[in-house]
Chain A
Amino acid sequence: ETGVTQTPRHLVMGMTNKKSLKCEQHLGHNAMYWYKQSAKKPLELMFVYSLEERVENNSVPSRFSPECPNSSHLFLHLHTLQPEDSALYLCASSQFSGQGNYGYTFGSGTRLTVV
C-alpha cells in the first residue's frame, strides 16, 4: 500500500445506477485529486481539493460529483454514467505549500466499467 487507499478496485455498473468511489489517505497531505485514465489518452485531471475546498473542476460532466468531508477522505459520486466513462479512476494526494507541490502519491485506482 502506498498510503492512499481506493475502494472498490473494480466496479461494473449500469447506466442508471448510482455508485460512489472512495479514497482515503494516511499521509497527512493537504491536497487530494481525482484523475481519469483512458486508453491512449493523457491522464485527465478531474477535481482538486486543497484544504478540503474544491479549487479545480476541469469542466467535468455533472454526472460526476466529488465530495471531500475532511482532509483524509475523498469521494466521487457517480450517476447516470455513459459507456465512454469506463476508465481507470485514480485518486492522489500531495503536500502543497507556497513553494510548490512535492509530488503525488497515487492509489491503485478503481477500474470502472459502464454497461
Chain B
Amino acid sequence: SQQGEEDPQALSIQEGENATMNCSYKTSINNLQWYRQNSGRGLVHLILIRSNEREKHSGRLRVTLDTSKKSSSLLITASRAADTASYFCATDASTGNQFYFGTGTSLTVIP
C-alpha cells in the first residue's frame, strides 16, 4: 500500500536524550512529511522533505531521507517532556495530491 509505516510503535526515553523514529514506504514519492499529534488533537506539520533532498533540519529536529531504501528517519535531539506525543510520517504518490499516513510512533519523554 502507499502508506508509510513507522518504527518503533512506542518509544520511552529520559528527558535530554535523543529520540529516533523511522518510516518505511513502498512506492515512489514526491514528498515525505512528519507530523506530531498530541493526545486527542489534530496533527501538526513538523517538516517536509522532497524526494531530491537527503537531509533537513528544523530546530531540534533532523530528518533524513533515503529513497534507495524507501525510508526516512526523524531525530529529536535533547528531548523535553513537551515532546511527548505521537509522530507520523506521511507520503504522497508521485502523481497524487493526498498524503497517506501510518499508525505512528508514540513517544514518551520522562522528566
Q: Footprint of B on A, CB under 8 Å?
A: 2, 4, 6, 31, 33, 35, 40-43, 45, 48, 50, 55-56, 88, 90, 92, 94, 96, 100-109, 111
Contact = CB atoms under 8 A, between A and B. Distances in A.
Contacts of B14: none
B31 A107 contact: no
B contact residues, range: 20 to 34
B45 A105 contact: yes
Contacts of A88: 40
By Cβ-Cβ distance, the 8 closest A-B pairs, closest first, are A106-B42, A43-B101, A96-B97, A106-B43, A100-B30, A108-B42, A103-B45, A42-B103
Nearest to B88: A43
- Per DSSP, chain A at the interface is strand
Interface in B91-108: 92, 97-103
A58 to B, nearest CB: 10
A59 to B, nearest CB: 14
